[in-house]
Structure 1
Amino acid sequence: MNALIPRPAMEVAPGAWHVPGWLGTAQQRELVTACRAWATGPVPIRHTRLPRGGVMSVQTVCVGWHWRPYEYTRTADDVNGRRVADFPDWLVRLGRRALLEAYGDEEAARDYTPDTALINFYDGQARMGMHQDKDERSSAPVVSLSVGDTCVFRVGNTETRTKPYTDIELSSGDLFVLGGPSRFAYHGVPRVHEGTGDPATGLRSGRLNITMRVTGLA
């Protein structure tokens, strides 16, 4: 496919919208700069350890609330005991703009107030197994932004990790929203295409994925 030909927005499943190329290069650079700052602390980026002893291949840093399987806390007691960085107002505004772009619903966009973001960094070997985002007490949509290398994103159903599912490619600057009937759909990243990102974003290699959520916690 010619990269100069705009890719249309597409509803992959009910409530699951893919908006290609939503972020411009300058906006992507700003996100990369912010993510680099968050990665240094107060709670640094790390490979999350799972309850059964496994370690996730992606590296994760959080803002607003600290996530570990399968709960949110204000302090990162499994890392260094410190409180994570605050969720910035500019990221709330970006989340609202993203929701408006995906759904075209001004009222829903105004009401959308994400209070946490999980930032995952994928190197060329990192993967994400099929899972549901269900640790939140809110069913508000999850807004996902991609910067860097292109990945294969697998969007499944709400009942099982297996088929039926749809594989799409998420490229740098793409927006993806999981909401409505697809809010709790299984999804994952089975593959990252190394070397496909644009260094102009400030990311020389790998993929950043910023997912904004509403925890529903006080």
Structure 2
Amino acid sequence: MFDHLISGAQLERFYSHLRGLGFEEIGPYAKGTTSLIFRARLDEKNVIIKLQRPDSPRQNFAREAGIIRAVEPFGVTPPLVTYGVFEGLEYLVREFAEGEIILHAEIEKRHLFEIVEKTALLDRLSLDHGQIQGGKHIIIGERVYLIDFEKANWRKPKNLTSAMAMLFLSDNYISRRVRKKFGIDGYFLREMRNELGVYKRTGRLSGLLSLLSRL
């Protein structure tokens, strides 16, 4: 999977480094634009390991690790396990978010409330995730998690409004599924826009939560 991005010798050295830290069952999982992603086990827990791609000049995992630590107490994202540098390449390890990305998950009403809760919490922290609308960074399982804070920053946030647009207002695969499942009509969508306007002006969530409770 990673043959054209990292040499076999360097990959084996990285695996050896991880085994020295206690990680087991290490294997490739996915690749991103700036990282190579592995799954592993540590003390009976599943973890994700993100290693900076050798062909990527961007070094921002230290900042991402700091953001994860900052939001960790609130249960928004799985806990950070460790951050380090291997042969000049940054890496971070966090616990694995069990579930499916929202793009493919079966979304229940309770998930909608949890998405509101966690995106509103990030808004209150003035932390903007930056990639919520893509549908790949919300994990739906027993719990809802937001993952991959690589492009997040402390700036004017729009997490909740981005999530509601993705789920209801925009025309995309996710919103079409949600509208069909919950029988959502134009009147509901107009009310949703109004309540999001109230939220942006006042930070008040009661109207939005009341609207979702009617689904």
Structure possessing the higher radius of gyration over alpha carbons: 2
TM range (shorter): under 0.3
Structure number with higher strand proportion: 1
The TM-score with structure 1 as length reference comes to 0.26
- Structure with higher RCO (Cα < 8 A, 6+ apart): 1
The TM-score with structure 2 as length reference comes to 0.26
